[in-house]
Amino acid sequence: MNLKNYYLAELIDAPIISEKSTNSAENNKQFVFKVKREATKPEIKAAVEMMFGVEVASVNTLNVKGKEKRFGRMLGRRSDWKKAYVKLKPGSDIEFSVA
């Protein structure tokens, strides 16, 4: 495994498993991942194709702003993060229960 593959493997933090993302996966073959903030769309596409062995049709990203939270008298802030919606080509599928 070369250095580029290590970099691509670190881009994807975790899949986001929620009711909305599960419905999107079942109906549209669109999966949701939490990714590094500096990740670009071509890098996310290459990382998903390398890790899961599928063909990616498109990638949409959005930056999620961290919420302000209060801890007693102290005011804190959660960190910002990036979410990626990855749409697969027909015939490709990702099984998270197996992977």
Give which of 98, 94, 19, 28 is closest to 60, Cα–Cα: 28
Average pLDDT over residues 4-30: 92
pLDDT recorded at residue 5: 87
Task: Set out the domains of the chain in order of their start, with CATH numbers.
Answer: 3-88 (3.30.70.330)
Average pLDDT over residues 52-65: 96
pLDDT recorded at residue 41: 97
CB 83 within 8 A of CB 16: yes
Confidence band, pLDDT 50/70/90 cuts, at residue 40: very high
Structure confidence by residue, pLDDT tens digits, 83-97: 999 999 998 888 876
User: Considering the entire predicted model, what is its pTM?
Assistant: 0.87
* Torsion on CA atoms 18, 22, 24, 26, rounded to nearest 10: 180
Average pLDDT over residues 70-86: 94
